[in-house]
């Protein structure tokens, strides 16, 4: 009796195991003729998402790295033109100034010497002019000597040139102070971005700049474009700018100049972009990404999550019919964080697994 009971128990256990195996087989994915077949009640179906591929409007572009720079005509470094001592400063860092605004005043013996030279040259010119007119009058009345007239004319021209040279030098400094006092003025309008002037300090005529002015409402971005892409870039083209500190800030600019010289080491060409910078958010020295548009058209764009990697190749899962899927290798183009351009391997109307392809079985 015990033996019969034991046989019956073993039969029940084996029957249960067979039923579990049958259920397991029904739930397993199968591979047949290069197709993955997923049973209708398989949990993987709940994890994958499919979508139909369509052509979309696509803008071709080139991206290069650039550096924000000041425009040379909007930037000025002011150093002392003569040796002397600072009497007083009129500016501070961050202060806006207009062209011609006073920056600092200094007392300079050298400047006093030039003003004295100007006074002496002015007196010499007056004497030379009087002598020249006197010689002309003598010739007019027949009592003069032609050689003396020519000498007086030459002397007059020389004195006039000498005074003009000194006068031009003084006009650069445009000082209205008395004696050796020199008023240094702003050559351009802008903002004081550096100022090391201290009242009472002694400056040498060969010292480094003590005041720097920059007008930053417009800036340049200098970028490098590869030799193979330069055919797409032309002066006047509109470009988009992105900077890391302000990822959501929309900045546009225009190609100002394309260099005529190529850097042989990098096989690239310098391109200058001019950008409006009304809020002064673009700072000189800041890195930027420059995006050049090279035309638009239609292309197949898919979610980046659909793309999978096998060695050096990339592939997708294609839904063929029902719950059947096949692996297809594709060639990709430009990619962003969320999308990828497919250049070959897909056609409009194909249905791809856009999410969850990693749950599909490994099939060589």
Amino acid 17: pLDDT: 46
Q: What is the DSSP string of 115-164?
A: HHHHHHHHHHHHHHHHHHHHHHHHHHTT-S-HHHHHHHHHHHHHHHHHHH
Element holding 110 (H helix, E strand): helix 109-140
In whole angstroms, what separates CA 63 from the centre of its chain? 11
What pLDDT, in 10s, does the model give residues 315-358?
A: 999 999 889 999 999 999 877 778 898 999 999 999 999 999 99
What are the Cα distances from residue 29, in Å, to 24, 39, 43, 273, 324? 10, 6, 10, 57, 10
pLDDT at 88: 93
Query: Where do you find CATH 2.40.30.170 in the chain?
Result: 62-72+216-296
DSSP secondary-structure letter at 10? H
* Torsional class of 54: left (φ above 0), alpha (ψ -120 to 50), beta (otherwise): beta
| DSSP annotation of 356 | -
Q: Output b/e per residue, 172-184; b: 16+ Cβ within 10 A.
A: ebebeeeebbbbb
pLDDT score recorded for residue 138 = 86
The predicted model gives 240-259 an average pLDDT of 92
Q: How confident is the model at residue 152 (pLDDT cuts 50, 70, 90)?
A: confident
pLDDT at 262 over 60: yes
Per-residue pLDDT tens for 164-207? 876 766 665 555 445 568 888 999 999 999 999 999 999 998 88
Higher pLDDT, 31 or 27: 31
Pick the CATH number of 28-58+299-359 from 2.40.420.20, 3.30.750.24, 3.40.50.2300, 1.10.287.3510: 2.40.420.20
Q: What is the pLDDT of residues 64-118, one digit of tens each?
A: 999 999 999 999 999 988 889 999 999 999 999 999 999 999 888 777 667 777 7
CATH 2.40.50.100 residue window(s) in the chain? 76-214
CATH level 3 topology of 62-72+216-296? Elongation Factor Tu (Ef-tu); domain 3 (2.40.30)
Domain 76-214 has CATH 2.40.50.100: yes
pLDDT of amino acid 109: 77
Within the chain, all domains assigned CATH 2.40.420.20 are found at: 28-58+299-359
Q: Is 80 exposed, middle or buried (0-12, 13-18, 19+ CB in 10 A)?
A: buried
pLDDT tens digit string along 195-248?
999 999 999 988 899 999 999 999 999 999 999 889 889 999 999 999 999 988
């Amino acid at each position: 009796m015990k033996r019969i009971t034991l046989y019956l128990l073993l039969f029940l256990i084996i029957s249960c195991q067979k039923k579990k195996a049958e259920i397991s087989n029904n739930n397993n994915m199968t591979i047949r003729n290069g197709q993955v077949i997923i049973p209708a009640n398989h949990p993987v179906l709940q994890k994958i998402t499919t979508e139909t591929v369509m052509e979309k409007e696509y803008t071709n572009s080139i991206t290069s790295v650039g550096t924000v720079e000041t425009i040379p005509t909007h930037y000025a470094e002011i150093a002392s033109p003569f040796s002397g001592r600072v009497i007083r400063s009129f500016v501070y860092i961050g202060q806006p100034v207009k062209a011609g605004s006073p920056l600092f005043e200094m007392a300079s013996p050298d400047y006093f010497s030039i003003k004295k030279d100007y006074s002496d040259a002015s007196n010499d010119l007056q004497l030379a002019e009087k002598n020249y007119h006197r010689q002309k009058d003598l010739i007019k009345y027949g009592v003069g000597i032609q050689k003396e007239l020519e000498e007086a004319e030459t002397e007059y021209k020389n004195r006039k040139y000498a005074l003009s040279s000194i006068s031009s030098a003084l006009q650069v400094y445009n000082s209205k102070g008395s004696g050796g006092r020199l008023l240094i003025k702003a050559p351009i309008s802008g903002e004081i971005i550096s100022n090391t002037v201290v009242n009472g300090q002694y400056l040498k005529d060969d010292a480094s700049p003590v005041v720097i002015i920059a007008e930053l409402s417009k800036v340049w971005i200098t970028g490098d474009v590869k030799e193979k892409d330069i055919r797409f870039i032309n002066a006047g083209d509109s470009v988009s700018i992105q900077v890391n500190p302000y990822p959501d800030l929309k900045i546009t600019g225009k190609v100002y100049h394309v260099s005529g010289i190529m850097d042989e080491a990098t096989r690239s060409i310098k391109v200058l972009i001019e950008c409006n910078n009304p809020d002064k958010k673009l700072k000189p020295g800041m890195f930027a990404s420059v995006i050049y548009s090279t035309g638009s058209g239609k292309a197949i764009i898919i979610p980046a999550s659909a793309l999978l990697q096998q060695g050096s190749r990339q592939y997708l899962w294609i839904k063929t019919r029902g719950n059947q899927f096949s692996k297809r290798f594709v060639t990709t183009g430009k990619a962003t964080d969320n999308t990828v351009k497919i250049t070959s391997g897909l056609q409009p109307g194909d249905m791809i697994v856009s999410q969850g392809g990693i749950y599909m079985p490994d099939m060589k």
